[in-house]
A and B are shown apart, each in its own frame.
Chain A
Amino acid sequence: MAIKTEEMVLNMGPQHPSTHGVLRLELILEGEIIQKVTPHIGYLHRCFEKHCEAMTYPQIIPYTDRMDYLAAMYNEFGYVIGVEKLLGIQVPERVEYIRVIMGELQRIASHLVAIGTYGADIGAMTPFLFAFRDREVILNLFEITCGARMLYNYIWVGGLSHDLHPDFVRLTREFITYFRPKIVEMNELLTTNRIFIERTANVGILPLETAINFGITGPMLRGSGFKWDLRKDDTYSVYNRFDFNIPIGEGKVGTVGDCWDRYYVRILEMGESLRLIEQALDQLPEGNVTSAIPKRIKPPVGSVYTRVENPRGELGYFIISNGTTSPFRVKVRGPSFVNLGIMDVLCKNHMVADVIAILGSVDIVLGEVDR
């Protein structure tokens, strides 16, 4: 007698701890094997782009914070670079250096969340607590700088809202010496953990050609073995003055481009960010951080597309100006939005439990996916 079989539809989310927000994945299962994954997004949609059309250029900065709320500094960074290009203004050296320091601190903070929650998703609770303990130090640094811990409104068009706190340089150096051994600790705790490797190695393999065709960027693309980092390949701000490496996935415990590679690229990137911060602190020039802030921001007619290397990948802003004080159109190319589009390819023919491992390795922030 033949056994009756049929496909099953399973909804993962919108409320699911491993979706890191409100995301619904519609899984089509054959037994325990995934046939198709359809992400349904938009639960956090607030039409950021429509809001922009009604606000002046500086007013938009706090809104950009609220897209990728784990990397708010970098969202501001990308946006102000775009507006400065439209205006055609140069910012003082000190501002550029502080932006780089903040951006890299933010990258570490964001990767710590990614790594910590990734462990927690898979079942390792301790790394999550360790990661958040270290992230706390960075958030304290941000707090003494601008008063806010998550949503800063710190990087302004043409400058910064405040200069650094007198203690900032000392505390940041202390953080660097404090944090270096913590990366080793994290490697001992999670990276080389047998169970963790079993769950992530050879899971969700992303071949390089597919990755490029899907527009995948950031640690995901580098995990697939492609040395591509906008800080080097389409350099902006003062990144060309620093010496740092671009880590890529090498398939150390599995295949190139699997979940473990994507995870490990983030670990290595934290070390590179520390190097960047160290160099930037050494070279930090004196100067006034508010002197170049324009009184009236009214860019000439034209459009610009700028992109920066956000912790999650390429964050692009397409800004059209019609010569007034508010933009005619702002389109955000969010790395999470684009990276999430590949879920179906990655999950095919994997087990249900692997969806969580794969989604965690993609590292999305729903605030930016939905905008």
Chain B
Amino acid sequence: MKSAEEIFNILKENFNDNIKELVKQPVDPYILCDPLKINEISLFLLSNEGLLFDNLMNLSGVDDANGMSTTTGSITTIEGGTLSVYYHMESTKFRHKVVLRVSTPREKPEASSVALVWRSADWHEREAFDLLGINFLNHPDLRRILMPYDWEAGYPLRKDYANPEFYHGMKVPY
């Protein structure tokens, strides 16, 4: 059973600059990583003898809404800032847990996919793509999952999302 600090140090040794910092907070400290290297980091976490993170509990996309926000009338737009993905994983053998976080620019949100490391990430990543528009590189089947396949009004979980007026001729706020 390893603490977050120990896991952070192991990762730092192996991935140097791709591991940014260990962010401490009252519950669940998290490790900030490079979004384009997250697949390699994940594979390391899964296959390293002393870590064996075999279960990805959860993967969540988050709109950090930390850019410039401008409001005109009822429409808010956010420019700049980041979108983030949180990875919660645990080892069923050693019973330790860790949280990773990657942040990717809002204009070009890209992170490498971990769907081939943990197959459970497949649908979670599709959901993050669907609701936040985060593009997971090398994902085997990146399609919308919860929203209709032809939804063109954007990504609902972004903080500056506005409902379209019509969808296929039906009024949306009915």
Contact = CB atoms under 8 A, between A and B. Distances in A.
| A complexed with B | yes
Contacts of B55: 212, 215
B92 A215 contact: no
A307 B120 CA distance: 16
Interface stretch (B5-13, B22-30, B105-113): B22-30
Interface residues on A, range: 35 or more
Interface stretch (A94-102, A155-163, A333-341, A355-363): A333-341
B57 A215 contact: yes
Most buried by B among A41, A85, A88, A215: A215
Contacts of A215: 55-57, 118-120
Interface string B140-157: 000011111000000011
A167 interface: no
Interface in B117-159: 118-120, 122-124, 131, 144-148, 156-157, 159
A256 B66 CA distance: 50
Nearest to B126: A341
B119 A370 contact: no
B156 A50 contact: yes
A333 B95 CA distance: 19
B69 to A, nearest CB: 14
Contacts, number: 92
A175 interface: no
B62 interface: yes
Given A41-B146, A318-B88, A341-B123, A88 B58 contact: no
A60 interface: no
Interface residues on B, range: 35 or more
Please classify the interface of chain B as helix (H, G, I), strand (E, B), loop, or mixed, using the class held by over half of its residues.
Answer: loop
A3 B139 CA distance: 38
A311 interface: no
A214 B120 contact: yes
Contact of A320 (B62, B119, B123, B145): B62
B57 A305 contact: yes
A305 B90 CA distance: 12
Contacts of A49: 131, 157
Contacts of A307: 57
Interface in A14-54: 41-42, 45, 47, 49-50, 53
A88 B26 contact: yes
A212 B57 CA distance: 10
Give the top 10 A-B pairs by smallest Cβ distance, nearest first.
A215-B120, A331-B60, A333-B58, A42-B146, A45-B146, A302-B25, A341-B123, A214-B119, A304-B27, A318-B60
Given A213-B54, A329-B63, 4 more contacts: A302-B26, A302-B27, A320-B62, A333-B60
10 contacts: A41-B145, A50-B157, A50-B161, A228-B92, A316-B58, A318-B58, A328-B62, A331-B58, A338-B123, A371-B146
